[in-house]
Amino acid sequence: MLAALFMAVPAFSQTNLRGSYPPANYKLSWSDTFAGSSLDTSKWMYRTDVKASSSQIPQNVAVTGGNLVIFMRKQADRGKQYTGGGVISKKPFHYGYFEARAKLFGGAGWHQSVWAMAVTDGSTTYPPNIRTEIDGLEFDSDTPSKGRMGLIIWQGPSHSQNRSCTAGVRRGPLGVDATTGFHAYGFEYTEQKVKYYLDGDLRCVFDYPPADGEHDEINFWLTAIGYEMHGIKIDDSKLPGKMLVDFAAFYESGTRH
């Protein structure tokens, strides 16, 4: 790790997406502002696996009020007592800047994420083609001001290297309450490094040369699952919960890094 979680730099040049902070020399290549009344299934597939404490179902995904909404519910399905959901870009991306502006749910027991990894059909987070996983934000809802940014280098579903921006602790301070407003979570994937941003501020940098792992194409994931781990139980009194996403975007660079 080359930079501390709290490292800050001036915000990058603005774009036509409100609240977006692409690095200099990057141009918008793909985006969704969720302006319609239903999910654009030409751009997205659903997350449909069963994992941790919930089953993920398409019915928990909606588009309304200019936001993608991912619901979290107390609902029995496929052996679980809770349901979550999520979307995954149908288009895979390579080097560039990924960003989503989101407001997260704060009722305990849920794991919400802005991340990227290869996909098959959305039914598993361990596809056979898994290689590079970039976690722009992993957020456990019992701690609204903490989260994890990291990189997992897979060599198939059962072998990996795990790097965290908060080495030694499971979650580190974000400097914001992720549940009280929208924040832009971004990560830049280049030929040599992965960089993590929150509202345009640089938080962490990892060296990631090709020699460290296979630099594959990755799909953009926006997801919420039940996560009764480490003694934390789901707070039924706060359900149903909502993860809101204002936009998701991918920018390509005109220069190499």
Q: Look at residue 4 and tell me whether its pLDDT is greater than 80.
A: no
DSSP state string for 173-199: E-SS-TTSS-EEEEEEE-SSEEEEEET
pLDDT tens digits along 189-225 = 999 999 999 999 999 999 999 999 999 999 999 999 9
Q: Look at residue 15 and tell me whether its pLDDT is greater than 90.
A: no
Q: Residue type at 235?
A: D
| Count of C-beta atoms within a 10 Å radius of residue 144 | 17
pLDDT tens digits along 49-75 = 999 999 999 999 999 999 999 999 999
Residues listed for the chain: 257
Structure tokens at 226: 């039940």
CA distance 174 to 19: 18
Round the average pLDDT of the chain to a whole number and report it: 93
Check residue 90 and give its pLDDT. Answer: 98
CA distance 73 to 50: 14
What's the topology of domain 26-253? Jelly Rolls (2.60.120)
Confidence category of residue 2, pLDDT binned at 50, 70, 90: very low
> HSE on the CB side for 15, CA within 13 Å?
21
Handedness of CA 151, 153, 154, 159 (dihedral sign): negative
Structure tokens at 245: 């996403």
Structure tokens at 88: 């995954």
Check residue 78 and give its pLDDT. Answer: 98
Confidence category of residue 230, pLDDT binned at 50, 70, 90: confident
Residue with token string 């704060």 = 106
Task: Tell me the percentage of the chain whose pLDDT exceeds 70.
Answer: 93
**What's the mean pLDDT in 213-240?**
96
Check residue 255 and give its pLDDT. Answer: 64
Collapsed DSSP state (helix, strand, coil) of residue 56: strand
Model-level pTM? 0.93
CA distance 149 to 66: 27
Task: Tell me the percentage of the chain whose pLDDT exceeds 90.
Answer: 88
Q: Look at residue 160 and tell me whether its pLDDT is greater than 60.
A: yes
Structure tokens at 31: 């985006």
CA distance 203 to 186: 10
